[in-house]
Amino acid sequence: MDIVKNNLTNLIPIVNPALKIENGIKLAIMYRVLPTTEIDSSELVKEAYKKLYDGNIPESADTIFNAFIPFLDFCRAKLILLNHNVRDLEQEELLRLVYRHLDEIFNGYSDLESLFNRYFDLMYSFSNMIPVPKYFNGSKNRNGKGTWKLNKDYPSIYYKNLEDEESSRYNAKEMKEWLDENMGKYRIKQMYKLEPPYPIDEYYGKNDDKLDNLISFIKNAIRLIEDRFNEVNWIVIL
């Protein structure tokens, strides 16, 4: 498959054929909890980067929007209301619990479930991926875009951190310069402007006061992923 042309296709079952039995939310959870080949660092994606960007690409990769962040926040809130103890669960344990109780969690939220299904399918599409410098996402001893406590993997928050001279982000000045130089090339400028559905130090909560903001955020994220390669001058390159 030419994933540059088919840039909205969920790559999980392409790279991991054994997972073709599911899609959307369930497929994404299975990808996270089962032994699988990573999508963004797979040879399929690396070759697509080389094709699209003339071979001159950084050595690491990033999924721009992380659907798991708002998804798990919503699920935790609903599991607590269903009398499940989620306080000290590791992420894999939480994902398995969510998988078992999806019907209960989304009872009365079918529209939101449909949005999350679409968001997860797009999360692992080529249109939601970019090559990035080493340690862009951080590591055990380096703070980056993927450092949970600092930005919850939201691009707009990560970029604001990089603008802060007191930022604890690894190579903040260099990473900001790289982003500024490459946002146009990688067509991610608008994606990096999308704010989280609510402040990252807040949680979804026991009521649905944040539901409208969550729905709006997911719709915007979906639109930005779907539209990323839609411009006429980009189609010519393809």
Residue % of the chain over a pLDDT of 90: 69
Please give the model's pTM, rounded to 2 decimal places. 0.92
The answer to whether residues 18 and 25 touch, using CB atoms and an 8 Å cutoff, is: no
Ordered by start, the domain boundaries in the chain are 12-237
- Statement: residue 237 has pLDDT above 60: no
Q: What is the pLDDT of residue 135?
A: 74
- Statement: residue 75 has pLDDT above 90: yes
d(CA 186, CA 199): 27
Cα-only R_g, the chain:
18
d(CA 33, CA 42): 18
Q: Hey, what amino acid is at 14?
A: I
| DSSP letter, residue 197 | S
42 vs 31, 61, 115, 158, 194, CA distance in Å?
A: 14, 10, 27, 25, 27
23 in helix, strand or coil? coil
Residue for token pair 């080389």: 50
- What's the mean pLDDT when you consider all of the chain? 89
Please report the DSSP string for 32-56 in residue order.
Answer: HHS----STTSHHHHHHHHHHTTT-
47 vs 65, 98, 119, CA distance in Å?
A: 21, 34, 24
Decide the pairing of beta strands 129-132 and 60-63. antiparallel
d(CA 72, CA 91): 9
- Statement: residue 225 has pLDDT above 50: yes
pLDDT band, very low/low/confident/very high, at 149 (cuts 50, 70, 90): low
Please report the DSSP string for 49-82 in residue order.
Answer: HHHHTTT---SEEEESS-THHHHHHHHHHHHHHT
Phi and psi at 48, nearest 5°, equal: -65, -40
Q: What is the pLDDT of residue 234?
A: 46
Mean pLDDT of 85-95: 93
| DSSP letter, residue 196 | P
The answer to whether residues 82 and 101 touch, using CB atoms and an 8 Å cutoff, is: yes
Number of other residues whose CB lies within 10 A of the CB of residue 134: 13
Dihedral of the CA atoms 233, 226, 160, 134 (nearest 10)? -80
Q: For residue range 165-175, list pLDDT tens digits in order.
A: 666 666 778 88
pLDDT band, very low/low/confident/very high, at 141 (cuts 50, 70, 90): low
pLDDT band, very low/low/confident/very high, at 151 (cuts 50, 70, 90): confident
